């Protein structure tokens, strides 16, 4: 009996050379996860919008001392007394290993273990199990979902209060308010850095002009969503007109992760065409709020050691 012809999944995650992993939909590479140990920390870059343009940037358009801004990245400014946010701080977040890759028509997912090294101890101060999922939407839009579990392997670890951490987005120059023609906006429709900095919101959007594959100017954007299960939801936001945004996990209070305990964090990024559509943002956030988180566990499947699953 002939086998049924193989159907290539719409959504794929593929290991690439030079310490990268790509996420694609319908054969279009949209996101690269960069995890080489020559970097201070891993990051997503590029992040391709519906236009075909890269919507994020490496570094600040005008300030070399902000080279720690890397597309979409994870970091925290003060873990114990150690700064994992800045470069040249002696710290490093390193990927230890990947655990699982999943391809399907509905989504593609990848799970990684990251270790936080303080530059003094050979053992990691924190570990972060990261599950990244890409979901296709209509008109070449998509969602990048981020599920993180932070654990302390040996001692209680304090995340001290700070504006910086644990996830952030540096948009390309043309999308920024100052260097380009972009707009920052929160869930109330409030705009601009001066009105948004330090204010709570369920999400933040940065949208602005980019060139599409035909050379025409179009609007694309990224909406970064906080999840109600995260501590201090809705987050107070650190935003800048020069082109970056991030929810402050613990702007007002420290968070302690005890030995053997964990801190689960959930965020997602909607990569969209056009300016922010508030009604669509409300709908996307509602689905995100009602969705189950993701876990990775030992697998009983053939040729698979670990398996990404929805939590019970």
Which pLDDT score, from 0 to 100, does residue 14 have?
98
Q: Which residues of 228-266 are buried (b: 16+ CB within 10 A; e: fewer)?
A: eebebebbbbbbbbbbbbbbbbbbeeebebeeeeebbbb
Average pLDDT over residues 4-19: 95
Confidence tier at 2 by pLDDT (50, 70, 90): low
> Are 172 and 57 in contact, with CB atoms under 8 Å apart?
yes
Task: Determine if the pTM surpasses 0.85.
Answer: yes
3-class secondary structure, 174 = helix
Position 79 pLDDT exceeds 90: yes
pLDDT of 260-294, one tens digit each? 899 999 999 999 999 999 999 999 999 999 999 99
Which pLDDT score, from 0 to 100, does residue 211 have?
98
Which pLDDT score, from 0 to 100, does residue 50 have?
98
Q: Which residues of 207-216 are buried (b: 16+ CB within 10 A; e: fewer)?
A: bbbbeeeeee
Which pLDDT score, from 0 to 100, does residue 175 have?
98
For 82, other C-beta atoms within 10 Å of its C-beta total 22
pLDDT of 111-134, one tens digit each? 999 999 999 999 999 999 999 999
Residue 3 backbone phi and psi in degrees, to 5: -75, 150
| Euclidean distance between CA atoms 53 and 51, whole angstroms | 5
Which pLDDT score, from 0 to 100, does residue 4 have?
73
Which pLDDT score, from 0 to 100, does residue 3 have?
67
Query: Where are the chain's structural domains?
Result: 11-310
In the predicted model, what is the mean pLDDT of the chain?
Answer: 97
Q: Is the CATH number 2.70.98 carried by domain 11-310?
A: yes
pLDDT of 208-225, one tens digit each? 999 999 999 999 999 999
Residue 65 backbone phi and psi in degrees, to 5: -80, 10
CA 192 to chain centre: 22
Position 1 pLDDT exceeds 60: no
Residue given tokens 């989504």 in the structure block = 107
Give the angle subtended at the CA of 66 by the CAs of 60 and 71, to the nearest 5°.
60
pLDDT of 34-72, one tens digit each? 999 999 999 999 999 999 999 999 999 999 999 999 999
């Amino acid at each position: 009996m002939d086998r049924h012809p193989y159907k290539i999944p719409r959504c794929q995650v593929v290991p690439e050379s030079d310490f990268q992993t790509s996420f694609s939909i319908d054969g279009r590479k949209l996101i690269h996860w960069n995890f080489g140990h020559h970097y201070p920390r891993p990051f997503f870059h590029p992040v391709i919008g519906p236009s075909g343009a890269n919507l994020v940037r490496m570094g600040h358009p005008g300030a070399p001392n902000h080279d720690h801004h890397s597309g979409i990245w994870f970091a925290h400014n003060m873990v114990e007394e150690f700064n994992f946010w800045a470069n040249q701080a002696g710290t490093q977040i390193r990927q230890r290993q990947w655990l699982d890759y999943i391809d399907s028509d509905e989504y593609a997912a990848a799970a990684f273990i990251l270790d936080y090294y303080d530059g003094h101890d050979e053992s990691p101060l924190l570990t972060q199990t990261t599950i990244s999922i890409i979901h296709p939407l209509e008109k070449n839009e998509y969602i990048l979902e981020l599920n993180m579990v932070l654990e302390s392997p040996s001692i209680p670890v304090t995340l001290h209060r700070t504006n910086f951490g644990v996830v952030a987005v540096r948009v390309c120059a043309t999308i920024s308010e100052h260097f380009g023609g972009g707009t920052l906006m929160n869930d109330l429709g409030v705009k601009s850095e001066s009105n948004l900095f330090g204010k709570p919101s369920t999400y933040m959007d940065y949208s602005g002009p980019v060139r599409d594959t035909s050379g025409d100017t179009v609007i694309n954007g990224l909406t970064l969503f906080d999840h109600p299960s995260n501590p201090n939801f809705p987050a107070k936001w650190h935003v800048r007109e020069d082109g970056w945004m991030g929810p402050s996990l613990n702007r007002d209070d420290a968070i302690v992760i005890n030995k053997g305990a964990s801190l689960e964090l959930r965020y997602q990024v909607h990569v969209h065409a056009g300016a922010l559509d508030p009604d669509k943002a409300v709908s996307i956030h509602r689905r995100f709020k009602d969705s189950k988180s993701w876990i990775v566990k030992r697998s009983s499947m053939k040729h698979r050691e670990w398996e990404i699953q929805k939590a019970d």
